[in-house]
Amino acid sequence: MFASISGSSVATAATIGTVAFPTFRKHNYAEAWVAGSVASGATLGILIPPSINLIIYGAITNSSIGALFVAGILPGVLLALCFMLIIAVAATLNPAISGRPQPLAQWPERRKRLVDPVPPLVIFILVMGSIYLGFATPTEAAGVGVIAAIGLTAFYGSLNWSMLREAMLSAVTTTGMTLLILIAAFYLNFILGVLGVPAQVSSFVSGFDVAPLTMVLLLVLLYMVLGCFLDALAMMIATTPIVLPIVTLLGYDSIWFGIFLVLMCELALITPPVGMNLYVTQSVRGRGDVGTVIAGVMPFALCILVVVAVIAIFPGVLI
């Protein structure tokens, strides 16, 4: 839910980790599993809409942002369910993972706690609903989200000039970074197009008599290796102009490839030695070494590969 309003995996890992670690330690949860769930769960920030990476991909490839957002929901929910399932199975097999048993809260307390997720859910419904119902473009929907966020901030009594100043500075910084990335991406696309690289690569690949699934498997291996050394956005920008023509040649469309690529970027975020979420989670964890976080994310990395396999075998689920 936090990912659905932040659009950033790093921000999700930092914010949720800061809140989660003290509470989990208090109840004696297994540290590796806590770190793994925070780092891996945060990767949903670049898949569940509104996603910064999907917006950049859509701008690079001239794909529909709305269609990408719609296509990202099912894999995002499926991935979240897979994460929860693997935690439930592991904790059932080894109860020590889930710490000391805690008394269940009474129903009045449960109902009171259920109110807390409502504000982010309202923002998500307003932003995504205005896009899907055709009332607003993704850009206009972002404005709707800002107005809703300001309204909720005022309702909770946190609206002041200092907060607005910080929010505006953050928005300018993020926008400037994103625009520089897009400028570099468009320039790279132009140079590669002039050199004829995509056409040459597509012609080369078409000479191989292999099944589409075999080629997708090779792409998975390629991105797993690249993810060990490249940042997720760098990987997306550097490879999209070259790989997209290959994928379309295999019969997949740009929307499918966008979701596939973002899933592989999620894997890159938790793949050592450059996985950004590993180090953000270790930073907020504040003890031990990053090896514990790496060990904790391994089961979740396998879950990501399972979801990749599902959308590769059944690409129609994204339509």
Q: What's the pLDDT tens digit per position in 99-138?
A: 877 778 888 888 888 888 888 788 888 888 888 788 888 7
The pLDDT, as a whole number, for residue 231 is 77
What does the alpha-carbon distance between residue 45 and residue 72 come to, in Å, rounded to a whole number? Answer: 11
The pLDDT, as a whole number, for residue 181 is 72
Closest CA to 267 of 315, 316, 216, 301: 301
Contact 9, 54 (CB under 8 A): no
Q: Which amino acid is at 118?
A: V
Across the range 204-214, mean pLDDT stands at 76
The pLDDT, as a whole number, for residue 259 is 94
Burial class, 29, CB count within 10 angstroms (exposed 0-12 / middle 13-18 / buried 19+): buried
What does the alpha-carbon distance between residue 111 and residue 188 come to, in Å, rounded to a whole number? Answer: 53
Across the range 249-266, mean pLDDT stands at 91
Contact 10, 276 (CB under 8 A): yes
Start-to-end CA distance of the chain, whole Å, equals 23
- The more confidently predicted of residues 106 and 85 is 85
Across the range 47-53, mean pLDDT stands at 84
Contact 39, 278 (CB under 8 A): yes
Average pLDDT, the chain: 86
Contact 9, 278 (CB under 8 A): no
